[in-house]
Each structure stands twice: as C-alpha cells, then as structure tokens.
C-alpha cells in the first residue's frame, strides 16, 4: 500500500497525536489532506496553519466521493456519522492502528512499545539514527523540536514508530525489530489482568526474530528469549547496562557497558531513573543496527526532552513550570522523584488530573501512594476520555483521605479542584517564588501550564 496511490485523504479525529502525524506524512507527500475533530487544540491550530482544512463538527456532509481514503482515531465511536458515510460510499476505511500496520509493511519498521517511556525512547532513537545519517521516518506520540512536531519525514527505508499497547494496537504492526521499555498493569478496561497483558506482548514479540527488552522488569524478563538483546541497571546478566549513575547540575550521567565492556559515559539533560532505562532501550536499538557509540553519545547529550515529557514550559512569578504526561501511578511517583533529584532545593507543587475513570478506580491503591515527595498537591477532577465509556464512576476527591495517609501529605497541603478553572485558581493562590510546579496528566491539564506562562 503506497501512500502515493491516494489523492484525497480524510482523517476523523485529526487532533490526536498519532492521527495528526499520519496527516502530516500524507501532506508532505503532496496528497490532499482534510479532517475533523470535536474540539480545537494546539495540534489542530498547527495543522490549519499548514493549510489543512479541519471541521470541528463531524457531519455526513464532510465526506464526499472525491475522498479515496478515510482514517479514523480509535476514539471515534462506530456510530460516527463521517465513518458511516465513508463506508456507505465504499471509501477504504482504516483505524489509525490499522493503517499504521499497513504502513509498517512498506518500511523496515522499528517498533517501540511498553507501558511507559515509548515517546521518549522513540524520540531518542530517531535522533540517534539522524546523527548516524540513516535518515529515518519517525512517528512519535509527542512533539520533538527538531522534527516536524510529531513526525520526521526521512528518505531511507527505516520507520521508527511508537507502538501503542492500548487494546492490543501494537499487534497491527509488522516490525522488523521491537524494543520494549517495561510492562505493568494498565488499560484494565481492555486487558483482564497482567497475565492477559503478557499474553498480548508475547504475541507481539513473536512477530520478530529478535527483541530488545528491559530485563530489570520481571514481566518482560519472563518473556525474554535466548536471542533477545537485554538491557538494565540492576541485573548483571543484561547485555547493555548502566552503571555509576550520578546527578550534577540538572544533568545525569552513567557509564554504559555492553557485554561487560565500558563503552563510555552518557550524559542526559532529562531526569529520572526511568529515563536512564529509556536511554538504554535506544542504545540497544542503535547497537543492533551497528551505530557507533560516539553517535549515540552526541544525540543523547543534545536531547533535552519532548512535549509534555518533563517539559520546562517557562517561569511564572519566579516559579518553574513543568508539564508532564504522567497518568499512571508509577509514572506519577517516578516524575516527582525525578523532580526532587534534579531540583533538591525547590518546593514541589503538584497539580494532577487523573486520566479515565477505569484507570483511576482499578489502580486506586497505587495512586494513593504515588504522591510521596510532593510538598503540596492539587487533585483535579478525573478527565473523561472520549471513546472510552466507563460504567464505573469515581471522583478524584474520594482519593484525598487515603493520599494524606499513604503519601504522607499534610491535610492543609492537599486540595481538590472540581475542574481546571478551580485548579488554576488554587495554583495562583499557592505558588511561591522558587517553587517547582509539576503539572501532570494525559488530559487537558497541560492547558494550565501554557496559560500560566502566557499570563506572566
């Protein structure tokens, strides 16, 4: 399936981070692109500035016979009017994961998956390949300042892609190489339990002859095959290992060993032990493709993060504002710890918006322990996710008594906000000079970070 066979492509849910990358790819191939979404966003605005026509009402009239390909976000319901019209007109129709799977067959595809760290690992791997003059195409679930937002268009046969695990979407891909960052309980509105998650990833692993995986993660270690490339910090059996991790002046460093031999020191501008693991994953990929270690060092040292991944947005009233996508309890806790390590002298103010009813309820016990290390917490109401209809309901307010007890937050230092307006008001009332304000969540809470800087 070559992109150039299409002349007019329509994207429903074009504001999604993955769907918008595909829209950009078609646009850069000189193909007419249009689309729709139900709400405006910075992504929508950027696409419109490129000249892409976007409808903010999803109606039948938007779909015409001239359209020869219809791609929709998994967030779209099956009673979506545009989708029904496209199917009635017999326009080829694919979900984003399905079409990404078709695209992966046209390239030498490197897929990066796991519960956490996919975007950062994909971005770093792409930058290493660029440094090595391998000119890959990269599709990442974030935005990288040296890319065209969430896309890098390359001319080589390499496609480096973030492989989302939600609803087993990674199984649509046909990769030549897979890297797995970590694995734990998540998306329990689809998966039954950790056994079910591992079964899906086992099927994914079988798609390739060799996989790079994090051997420090027990779930992945149990899936490792003899031929696979392993990386880690604690497990001495890891082929690729980080040792002697240090933090100095808002940077972290580690010595990288491959097969027991010191390759050199890696310097990172991004914090957290989780980012050491993400870096090791990108090194494992680069090592498999025989990229020189000096190229890896250069690309990794220059990388300063991507959109909503411990992103330094700016300063507000002499407080440092950071936006992060963390929405799983493990990620929330790790991000707070990373902030404390890089900025030990700052008071850490956390504004967190839980993401999706099901996740908040099923992982409640993990969430209530995940705020240790924060000095002040503002808990915004749960973000409702389009396309994921939850029968169960839970309010963020219900978590507060248990957070006080388990995360050791004083009662006067934790607040509930019914919506983002109230969240911002509470921030304005509590931010002090020299604070680090960590605004976390996968929903629309990032808008607060941008608005604070705009108000400065």
Q: How confident is the model at residue 354 (pLDDT cuts 50, 70, 90)?
A: very high
What is the tens place of the pLDDT at every residue in 220-269?
999 999 889 999 999 999 999 999 999 999 999 999 999 999 999 999 99
As annotated, the residues of the chain forming the CATH 3.90.190.20 domain(s) are 311-455
Do the annotations mark residue 451 as ligand-binding? no
Whether pLDDT at 450 is above 90: yes
Mean pLDDT over 180-193 rounds to 92
Angstrom distance (rounded) from CA 281 to CA 286: 9
As annotated, the residues of the chain forming the CATH 3.40.1190.10 domain(s) are 105-302
What is the tens place of the pLDDT at every residue in 16-43?
999 999 999 999 999 999 999 998 899 9
Mean pLDDT over 429-445 rounds to 96
| pLDDT score at 2 | 76
- Where is 313: in which H helix or E strand? strand 311-316
CATH number, span 105-302: 3.40.1190.10
* Architecture field, domain 7-96: 3-Layer(aba) Sandwich (3.40)
Do the annotations mark residue 168 as ligand-binding? no
As annotated, the residues of the chain forming the CATH 3.40.50.720 domain(s) are 7-96
Do the annotations mark residue 119 as ligand-binding? yes
Say what angle helices 293-302 and 118-131 make with each other, to 10 degrees. 120
Do the annotations mark residue 118 as ligand-binding? yes
- Where is 229: in which H helix or E strand? strand 229-232
Q: How confident is the model at residue 1 (pLDDT cuts 50, 70, 90)?
A: low
Q: How confident is the model at residue 389 (pLDDT cuts 50, 70, 90)?
A: low
What is the tens place of the pLDDT at every residue in 133-151?
999 999 999 999 999 999 9
- The contacts of residue 45 (CB under 8 Å, 6+ apart) are none
Mean pLDDT over 271-300 rounds to 98
Do the annotations mark residue 117 as ligand-binding? yes
Angstrom distance (rounded) from CA 253 to CA 18: 32
Domain 311-455: what homologous superfamily? Mur ligase, C-terminal domain (3.90.190.20)
CA distances from 344 to 151, 274, 441 (A): 35, 18, 23
């Amino acid at each position: 399936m070559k992109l150039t066979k299409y002349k007019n492509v329509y994207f429903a849910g074009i504001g999604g981070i993955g769907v918008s990358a595909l829209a950009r790819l078609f646009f850069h191939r000189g193909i007419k692109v249009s689309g729709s979404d139900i709400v405006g966003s910075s992504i929508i605005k950027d696409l419109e500035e490129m000249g892409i026509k976007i409808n903010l009402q999803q109606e039948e009239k938007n779909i015409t016979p001239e359209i020869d390909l219809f791609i929709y976000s998994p967030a779209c319901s099956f009673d979506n009017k545009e989708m029904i019209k496209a199917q009635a007109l017999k326009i080829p129709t694919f979900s984003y994961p399905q079409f990404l799977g078709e695209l992966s067959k046209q390239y030498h595809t490197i897929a990066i998956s796991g519960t956490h760290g996919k975007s950062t690992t994909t971005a770093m791997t792409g930058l290493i390949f660029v440094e090595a003059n391998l000119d890959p195409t990269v599709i990442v679930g974030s935005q990288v300042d040296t890319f065209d937002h969430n896309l890098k268009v390359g001319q080589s046969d390499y496609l480096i892609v973030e492989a989302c695990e939600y609803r087993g979407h990674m199984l649509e891909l046909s990769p030549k190489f897979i890297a797995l960052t970590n694995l734990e309980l998540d998306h329990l509105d689809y998966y039954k339990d950790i056994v079910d998650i591992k079964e899906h990833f086992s099927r994914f692993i079988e798609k390739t002859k060799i996989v790079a995986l994090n051997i420090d993660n027990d779930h992945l270690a149990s899936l490792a095959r003899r031929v696979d490339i392993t990386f880690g910090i604690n497990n001495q059996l890891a082929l690729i290992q980080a040792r002697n991790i240090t933090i100095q002046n808002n940077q972290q460093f580690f010595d990288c060993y491959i097969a027991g031999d010191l390759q050199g020191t890696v310097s990172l501008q991004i914090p957290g032990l989780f980012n050491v693991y993400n870096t090791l994953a990108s090194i494992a990929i680069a090592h498999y493709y025989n990229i020189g270690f000096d190229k890896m060092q250069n690309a990794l040292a220059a990388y300063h993060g991507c959109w909503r991944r411990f992103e330094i947005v700016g300063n507000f009233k002499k407080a440092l504002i950071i936006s992060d996508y963390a929405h799983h309890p493990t990620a929330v806790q790790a991000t707070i710890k990373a902030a404390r390590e890089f900025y030990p002298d700052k008071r850490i103010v956390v504004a967190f918006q839980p993401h999706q009813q099901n996740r908040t309820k099923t992982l409640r016990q993990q969430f209530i322990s995940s705020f240790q290390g924060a000095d002040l917490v503002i808990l915004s109401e749960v973000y409702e996710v389009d396309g994921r209809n939850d029968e169960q309901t839970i309010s963020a307010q219900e978590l507060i008594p248990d957070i006080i007890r388990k995360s050791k937050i004083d009662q006067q230092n934790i607040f509930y906000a019914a919506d983002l307006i109230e969240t911002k008001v509470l921030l304005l009332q509590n931010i002090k000079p020299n604070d680090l304000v960590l605004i976390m969540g996968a929903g629309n809470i990032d808008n607060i970070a941008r608005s604070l800087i705009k108000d400065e």
